[in-house]
A and B are shown apart, each in its own frame.
Chain A
Amino acid sequence: MSKIIIGRYIPGNSIVYKMDPRGKIIGAFFFIFLIFLANNWFTYLMITLFTFAAVFATRLKIKTFWEGVRPLIWLILFTSVLQLFFTTGGKIYWHWGIFTISHYGIENSIYIFIRFVMIILMSTVLTLTTTPLEISEGMEWILTPLKYLKVPIGQIALVMSIALRFVPTLMDETVKIMNAQRARGADFNDGGLIKRAKAIIPILIPLFINSLTIAIDLAVAMESRGYREGEKRSRYRVLTWSKYDWINLAFFTLLTALLLVLRKH
């Protein structure tokens, strides 16, 4: 538990930090769509180059990005290898039972490896350079159109910011509860499956009860400070679009144009 990092934001000062979170979030979504467009060597090369451009533009250590990929590296390799054996077509190089290594297989597994790594790197760029609060404000802005489908966006935004505020608090609370239970002999890493499942209860229930207490107190405090459901409120924190966001926009426009031209039609 001690190794848990709350949020992944690393303070910095490069241009990626100065971009509007809305632009960055939309960019990160859009990048996934762009990856769908890639279907030959040139396009994958472009995707790779642009991702690395974004990674270098953050001016963070490469090691930090590697730490985002590392927990998944075995899964990525395993998946790529499975793809290698189960995709058939083109020239066949090796064949044994159900396993085949073909030209398409090799190509496909390399593409999948690139896709995995690039998607992870791009979303790491977003999470490392944007604070959780900025992300939730950006998400709120992006979700606003759902208002027309009668989705209670105001309430959802409030839920988001309260949840965000209390994750660190509850994280500390969890560590405290675990230590308190350990002090009385609880063991969270030993025993059979059912014993371990039962060991969750002494953590979960106090955590839940503490949260209920916090929630009731907070609701009372909010109401006493004049929060009224459904009434129009002003905004203290406002997101602003700056010149750096045009760089962001230009970056993605260029990448889209290149992919559309270079992809196999």
Chain B
Amino acid sequence: MGHAFLESVIPMSETKLRLNLQDLVILALLIAINIVLQKIQFGPAYLKVGLGFIGLTMLGYYFGPVWGSIGAGVSDILMSTAFGVEGGFFPGFTLSAMLGALIYGIFFYKQPIKIWRIIVSTLLVTALVNVLLNTYWLHLLYGLNLKAAFLSRILKELIVPWIQMIVIYIVLKALQRVKIKK
């Protein structure tokens, strides 16, 4: 445990950080999928759920915390600058996306799919990223009163994670059946 575990989650040396070409191209296509998914929303009009979190989950699941969060960072940069998401580019949200993929990576990368992992990781992402960090970015970016910013976001963040958990479970179970050829 200890060091060996840390090494498996976060590769320390630069040589271990490098991906081979095939993995690199798969990562690029996963980012492209992530961008495409971001454009699809599902659910009734009063509760639209974006599919962006599936992309983050897939990045974490296949590439682990380090490359997963690099991939999430690249998707966010491309999405907000090149493909135009609502609201424009702010590096804080890039950090949020990276942290989300990092959390999913720690919980899912090379791990068996367990319900508790899905519940804990989704709750962590919701609490740390969506509620705390993103609200703070909104506060910083637009000078919102923090209390008012929380109020306008909390309702959605109380409902959406439970939907996300179901979707993540279904998606991961299905992805498990797809094996990457080496």
Measuring CB to CB, which residues of chain A are less than 8 angstroms from any residue of chain B?
A: 1, 4-8, 25, 28-29, 32, 35-36, 68, 71-72, 78-79, 82-83, 85-87, 108, 111-112, 115-116, 119-120, 122-124, 126-127, 132, 135-136, 139, 150, 152, 155-156, 158-160, 162-164, 166-167, 169-171, 174, 188-189, 193-194, 196-201, 204-205, 207-209, 211-212, 214-216, 218-219, 222-223, 227, 229-230
Contacts and interface: CB of A to CB of B under 8 A. Distances in A.
A80 B180 CA distance: 48
Interface in B56-76: 58, 70-71, 74-75
A168 B29 CA distance: 11
Contact of A32 (B26, B40, B141, B145): B141
Interface in B138-182: 140-145, 147-149, 151-152, 163, 166-167, 170-171, 174-175, 178, 180-181
B145 to A, nearest CB: 5
B78 to A, nearest CB: 6
Name the residue in A158, A171, A193 with the highest tally of chain B Cβ atoms < 10 Å from its Cβ. A193
Interface string B82-102: 111011111100000000000
Given A120-B87, A152-B17, A215-B26, A200 B167 contact: yes
Interface of B: 14, 17-22, 24-33, 35-37, 39-40, 42-43, 51, 54, 58, 70-71, 74-75, 77-78, 80-84, 86-91, 140-145, 147-149, 151-152, 163, 166-167, 170-171, 174-175, 178, 180-181
Given A127-B84, A162-B28, A215-B26, A82 B166 contact: no
Contacts, number: 211
Which secondary structure characterizes the binding site on chain B?
helix
Contact of A205 (B37, B77, B163, B175): B175
A223 B21 contact: yes
A209 B88 CA distance: 31
A208 B174 CA distance: 11
Given A152-B17, A171-B36, A227-B21, A208 B145 contact: no
B167 A122 contact: no
Given A28-B89, A162-B28, A167-B32, A219 B71 contact: no
